[in-house]
Amino acid sequence: MTSTTLAFDLLPESMLRGTVDVMVRLVEACGAIVIVTGALVAIVRFVMVLARRDVVGFSSVRLTLGRFLALGLEFQLAADVLRTAISPSFDEIGKLAAIAAIRTALNYFLAKEIAQEQSAIDREKAAPPPVDTASP
């Protein structure tokens, strides 16, 4: 096999790797944009809730931020999977497994907390207003 043949055989894989690398960076950037957007939205909502001194509103702010974080984590995990899509080594597969496990665990507990926050908000909305027994 000549060096010309070897270079020709590697060309398509190198082009594919380059294309996938660009896609990985785009998906990672999307995940980062989602997380930053969520943080900015949460900051604005937090300031509004703080100005109104609305204690119940803090749960809503946490819920909003949690949803953005969960979506951002999904994008980051997608980028990690895409990164190892082309002829991965055992080392890359091991790293992906560790990253996927960590991000999946984070996402699971985040989703669980979001569900708890949402049910608490729903209960507060459904509860009748307190009756003031001190007034005549």
Tell me: the pLDDT tens digits for 51-62?
Answer: 888 777 788 888
Tell whether 82 is covered by a domain. Answer: yes
Task: Kindly provide the residue ranges of all beta strands, DSSP E only, lying in the chain, ordered along the sequence.
Answer: none
Question: What does the alpha-carbon distance between residue 89 and residue 114 come to, in Å, rounded to a whole number?
Answer: 36
Q: What is the 3-state secondary structure (H, E, C) of 98-129?
A: HHHHHHHHHHHHHHHHHHHHHHHHHHHHHCCC
Tell whether 69 is covered by a domain. Answer: yes
Tell whether 133 is covered by a domain. Answer: no
Res 27: pLDDT: 95
Tell whether 2 is covered by a domain. Answer: no
Domain that holds residue 55: 19-120
Tell me: the pLDDT tens digits for 83-122?
Answer: 887 777 888 888 888 888 888 888 888 888 888 878 877 7
Question: What does the alpha-carbon distance between residue 129 and residue 131 come to, in Å, rounded to a whole number?
Answer: 6
Split into its structural domains, the chain has a count of: 1
